[in-house]
A and B are shown apart, each in its own frame.
Chain A
Amino acid sequence: MIVVSYHRRMKAHVLTDPTPAPRRFRQFLQEELAKRCARNPRYSLRAFARYLRLDHSTLSQLLRGRRRFTARTVERIAARLSLAPPMITQFVELERTPPESWATRELRQLSRDASLTLAEWHHPAILELTRLASFKPDVRWIARVLDVPVDDVNIAITRLARLGLLDMQSRTTWVDKAGNAEARIDGGSVRTVSALAGRARTLVGSKGGRSAHYSATTVAVPGLTSRRIAERVEQFRREIGQMLDSVDAERDHVYCLELAFFPVADLTPDGVTTDGTAGGTMADSRS
């Protein structure tokens, strides 16, 4: 009997297409043929070609992707199958669009990875944990420390490795390749902020000794100064990073330093700020 041991197993994830590509006409025809064959075991490609009034070798090439559909072919076959006009139009349009390339698919996935990495707080937290002397390259430990399910940690690790932000260099060493990269959050990341706030409440509630400092203020500002303020906020964040880099001491905690500067009210006519950007967004916090 094969002894199942962990080191005979592999853990991985793959670049997959997050949103399945729209069904093209070739797939539709393949499915239609499969349905007919399921209903009638004697049904064949030749029978389908006869029904569609096509040469069977032509149909075979079309189904195997060896020949491209022209708009006229799609319309003719679709009419024979009594498809609804909007569906025919959709298929014709799709045939005019080349299939998505690997590069495009990869880019799309990386873009999703990147946005999720910024949007979900435990991604940067995992990277920061790797800097601790007490770090354990054990997903169960990470999950326990961050109070996140093991599966969520593994999904995050996969994304971080795919983005090149995490390098599992050896069985004992994981390296944060993001450095002190800034996580710019946008309006879609409100859940990140609330998740972090919830996490902070839990920690402070359960361990009263932990120090937490909250400082927030809401002020009225001339729109023209918003950019300068955003720059100062960014400068402050950099200074904290530099200060930490200069401290020669073991890192044994992970804190979240959250800096947010965004408009909560816009009193300019038509909701447009004086520097010309749209109000009600994070646009004013850009550097």
Chain B
Amino acid sequence: MGQPVVQWQILARNPDALTSFYAALFDWRVNADNAMGYRTVDTGSDRGINGGVWPIGPTEGHPLVQLFVEVADVAASVAKVEQLGGRVVIPPQALPDGDRLAIVLDTEGLSLGLMQRRA
């Protein structure tokens, strides 16, 4: 099945303004009707990948884009990250929809999401 990049995510200081911007620019559709209040972004195309927007606080750095890789076992992937010299920022967490997610840093210090779909 491979381990594909399945989503992009923008960390934004003002998520509402940002999603309005992209909705106006590209006609992307935003929907936050879910248990995490997560702003999903549908580009409306069958090509490429969709994304989402997550808020950051005023002391939490600058806005940036993250990529998310789907893995079979998020805990095993996190262990491998550490073996390979990466760092764990947020250990595996179970999301209300049943997916599991961890945030890590690669060897360049870039953040990366690891996602395991619910069984």
A-side interface residues toward B, CB under 8 Å? Answer: 1-2, 4, 6-18, 20, 102, 105-106, 109, 112, 116, 137-140, 143, 150-151, 153-155, 158-159, 161-162, 164, 167-171, 173
Q: Which 5 residue pairs are nearest across A and B when measured between Cβ atoms?
A: A16-B61, A14-B111, A150-B37, A168-B93, A4-B42
Interface contact B34-A6, CB-CB below 8 Å: yes
A4's nearest neighbour on chain B, judged by CB, is B42
Contact A155/B56 with A9-B40, A139-B36 known, Cβ cut-off 8 Å: yes
User: In the complex, how many angstroms separate the beta carbon of B118 from the nearest chain A beta carbon?
Assistant: 6
- A11, A116, A171 — most chain B CB neighbours (10 Å): A11
Tell me the bound Cα distance from A116 to B37 in angstroms. 22
Tell me the bound Cα distance from A162 to B57 in angstroms. 14
Interface contact A155-B57, CB-CB below 8 Å: yes
Provide the residues of chain B in CB contact with A167, threshold 8 Å: 93
Tell me the bound Cα distance from A16 to B38 in angstroms. 20
B-side interface residues toward A, CB under 8 Å? Answer: 6-7, 9, 11, 15, 29, 31-32, 34-38, 40, 42, 44-46, 49-50, 52, 54-57, 59-62, 64, 66, 68, 87, 89-91, 93-99, 101, 103, 105, 109, 111, 113, 115, 117-118
Provide the residues of chain B in CB contact with A112, threshold 8 Å: 59-60
Interface contact B59-A10, CB-CB below 8 Å: no
Provide the residues of chain A in CB contact with B40, threshold 8 Å: 4, 6, 9
Contact A2/B46 with A10-B68, A155-B55 known, Cβ cut-off 8 Å: yes
Tally of contacts, chain A with chain B, CB under 8 A = 147
Provide the residues of chain A in CB contact with B117, threshold 8 Å: 7
Tell me the bound Cα distance from A170 to B99 in angstroms. 9
Tell me the bound Cα distance from A196 to B107 in angstroms. 42
Provide the residues of chain A in CB contact with B34, threshold 8 Å: 6, 9
Contact A162/B89 with A9-B7, A137-B96, A138-B96 known, Cβ cut-off 8 Å: yes
Partner of A7, one of B37, B44, B60, B99: B99
Interface contact B105-A15, CB-CB below 8 Å: yes
Interface contact A20-B62, CB-CB below 8 Å: yes
Provide the residues of chain B in CB contact with A13, threshold 8 Å: 11, 54, 56, 60, 90, 103
Tell me the bound Cα distance from A287 to B108 in angstroms. 43
Interface contact A14-B11, CB-CB below 8 Å: yes
Interface contact A168-B55, CB-CB below 8 Å: no
A12-B113, A14-B11, A102-B109 are known; give 15 further A-B pairs, CB within 8 A: A11-B38, A11-B52, A12-B101, A12-B103, A13-B11, A14-B64, A15-B105, A16-B11, A16-B64, A138-B35, A138-B96, A153-B37, A154-B38, A155-B55, A171-B96
Contact A151/B59 with A11-B54, A137-B96 known, Cβ cut-off 8 Å: no
Tell me the bound Cα distance from A92 to B22 in angstroms. 41
Provide the residues of chain B in CB contact with A20, threshold 8 Å: 61-62
A14's nearest neighbour on chain B, judged by CB, is B111
Tell me the bound Cα distance from A151 to B95 in angstroms. 16
Tell me the bound Cα distance from A153 to B96 in angstroms. 15
Tell me the bound Cα distance from A173 to B93 in angstroms. 11
Partner of A151, one of B45, B50, B55: B55
- A8, A20, A139, A168 — most chain B CB neighbours (10 Å): A8
Interface contact A140-B37, CB-CB below 8 Å: yes
Contact A171/B94 with A13-B56, A151-B55, A154-B55 known, Cβ cut-off 8 Å: yes
Partner of B105, one of A1, A102, A143, A162: A102
Tell me the bound Cα distance from A259 to B50 in angstroms. 48
User: In the complex, how many angstroms separate the beta carbon of B64 from the nearest chain A beta carbon?
Assistant: 6
Interface contact A164-B15, CB-CB below 8 Å: no
Contact A6/B90 with A14-B11, A137-B96, A171-B95 known, Cβ cut-off 8 Å: no
